[in-house]
């Protein structure tokens, strides 16, 4: 039996469609074109699930039949922030769901001397403190880069409970590291894998997502 997830972690339902999509992108023989196409389909599912967790307010509109309809609209503004470079693969999926959405970027790399994640670059919307933030990164391995990116957002006065971290594949170790430090944000993932190997790669995983999406043939 799988351990119960923390209340702030959401895993997409294990439908036949999702299982098939994940199988394709995990296959080392999948060519780059197919990897991009089927990854984009999963990203779209992730974004749509993430939007389900944003708060709404009641809104009444008038339909073309001159009838009032009591519906809802999103409460507050949103933006996306991608952890470069792999996270940039998820930007179009967000744009497909949210018209004219603002996108910020954060570049974090491992410091060769300390082996710790180090911030090299960030460009965020000036009013990000007033927005709900969808943090984008396909892989959650150790959680180091994610934690550093969240620190950057908090330093820009983004409220922790207004952060949704979207990723395709997560490790239990990464989930534990992030949720132990930040209990108010929400993680939305497509798959929680077995764990990390001795090189800190996700197992079974799908390899280097950024390489497969952007550069490999």
pLDDT 10s digits, 170-204: 999 999 999 999 999 999 999 999 999 988 899 99
**Overall pTM surpassing 0.85 (yes/no):** yes
3 in a structural domain: no
To the query of whether residue 129 is one of the catalytic residues in this protein, the response is no
Count up the domains in the chain and report the number.
1
How distant, in Å, are the alpha carbons of 6, 49, 90, 100 from that of 108? 26, 26, 17, 26
Look at residue 66 and tell me if it is in a domain: yes
Query: pLDDT of 101-145, one tens digit each?
Result: 999 999 998 766 666 788 889 999 999 999 999 999 999 999 999
Domain extent, residue 137, equals: 9-214
Q: Output the six-digit token pair for 167.
A: 């990723």
| Residue 137 and residue 107 in contact, taking contact as beta carbons nearer than 8 Å | no
The answer to whether residue 211 is catalytic is yes
Question: Does the pLDDT at position 40 exceed 50?
Answer: yes
Per-residue pLDDT at 1: 42
Whether 4 is covered by a domain: the verdict is: no
Residue where the block lists tokens 């999406």: 213
Residue 2 has pLDDT above 70, yes or no: no
Q: Which residues contact 186 (CB under 8 A, 6 or more apart)?
A: 8, 9, 10, 53, 163, 164, 165
pLDDT at 169 over 90: yes
pLDDT beyond 90 at 79: yes
1 occurs within a structural domain = no
User: Residue 199, exposed/middle/buried by CB under 10 A (0-12, 13-18, 19+)?
Assistant: exposed
Establish if 174 belongs to a structural domain.
Answer: yes
Does 60 qualify as catalytic in the annotation?
no
Task: Tell me, yes or no, if 137 is annotated catalytic.
Answer: no
CATH classification of the domain holding 22: 3.40.50.2020
Catalytic residue of the set 96, 129, 130, 208: 208
Task: Evaluate whether residue 2 is within a structural domain.
Answer: no
According to DSSP, the residues that pair with 163 across neighbouring strands are 133
Among 23, 110, 161, 215, the active-site one is 110
pLDDT recorded at residue 110: 74
Distance of CA 166 to CAs 26, 28, 71, 150, 199, Å? Answer: 18, 23, 27, 12, 23
């Amino acid at each position: 039996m799988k351990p119960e997830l923390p209340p702030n972690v959401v895993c997409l339902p294990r439908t036949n469609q999702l299982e098939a999509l994940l199988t394709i992108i995990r296959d080392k023989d999948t060519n780059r074109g197919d990897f991009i196409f089927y990854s984009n389909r999963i990203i779209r599912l992730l974004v749509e699930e993430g939007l389900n967790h944003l708060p709404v307010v009641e809104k009444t509109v008038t339909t073309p039949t001159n009838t009032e309809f009591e519906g809802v609209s999103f409460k507050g503004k949103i933006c996306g922030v991608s952890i470069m470079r792999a996270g940039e693969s998820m930007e179009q999926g967000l744009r497909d769901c949210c018209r004219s959405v603002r996108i910020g970027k954060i570049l974090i790399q491992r410091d060769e001397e300390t082996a710790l994640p180090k911030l090299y670059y960030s460009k965020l919307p000036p009013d990000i403190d007033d927005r709900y933030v969808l943090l984008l990164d396909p892989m959650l391995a150790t959680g180091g880069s994610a934690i550093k990116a969240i620190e950057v957002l908090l330093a820009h006065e983004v409220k922790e409970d207004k952060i949704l971290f979207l990723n395709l594949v997560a490790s239990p170790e990464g989930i534990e590291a992030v949720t132990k430090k930040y209990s108010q944000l929400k993680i939305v993932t497509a798959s929680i894998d077995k764990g990390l190997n001795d090189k800190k790669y996700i197992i079974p995983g799908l390899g280097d997502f950024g390489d497969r999406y952007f550069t490999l043939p």
